[in-house]
Amino acid sequence: EAQVTQNPRYLITVTGKKLTVTCSQNMNHEYMSWYRQDPGLGLRQIYYSMNVEVTDKGDVPEGYKVSRKEKRNFPLILESPSPNQTSLYFCASSLSGGMNTEAFFGQGTRLTVV
């Protein structure tokens, strides 16, 4: 089954404790991205990757890191989480760059930083 898988689904952590949210897709998509969803603000792009070893900042990259060492994986790293990073996070992949093709979303990760 074609899918995007995120883990974990729920995470509560403390300020400053490094964490990683994993994202994996099995559709051989070139383009992957991370979004955060906050009430009234919709989906805001954090980082995106056009292909292996190619990553770029989205609209809200501060406080986040990503890597794309393999085509299927695109982990999101919070080196020193802060309470303002409490949010719902979605990973997505699509066949080609930008939004030129349908984006497939993971199940979401609800992160709480206390």
Partner 1 sequence: GENVEQHPSTLSVQEGDSAVIKCTYSDSASNYFPWYKQELGKRPQLIIDIRSNVGEKKDQRIAVTLNKTAKHFSLHITETQPEDSAVYFCALGTSYDKVIFGPGTSLSVIP
Alpha carbons 12 and 51: distance in angstroms, whole number? 31
Whichever of 73 and 104 has its CB closer to partner 1, that residue is: 104
Nearest approach, Cβ of 78 to partner 1 (angstroms)? 21
Residue type present at position 94: S
Nearest approach, Cβ of 18 to partner 1 (angstroms)? 26
Alpha carbon distances (Å) from 83 to 49, 72, 113, 114: 26, 30, 5, 6
Nearest approach, Cβ of 14 to partner 1 (angstroms)? 26
Whichever of 5 and 82 has its CB closer to partner 1, that residue is: 5
Report the chain's terminal Cα–Cα distance, integer Å. 36
Whichever of 16 and 98 has its CB closer to partner 1, that residue is: 98
Nearest approach, Cβ of 11 to partner 1 (angstroms)? 17
- CA triplet 28, 102, 88: central angle to 5 degrees? 90
Give the closest residue to 110 by CA, choosing from 92, 85, 78, 93.
85
Whichever of 14 and 41 has its CB closer to partner 1, that residue is: 41
Residues that bind partner 1 (CB under 8 A): 31, 33, 35, 40-45, 48, 50, 56, 58-59, 90, 97-103, 105-108
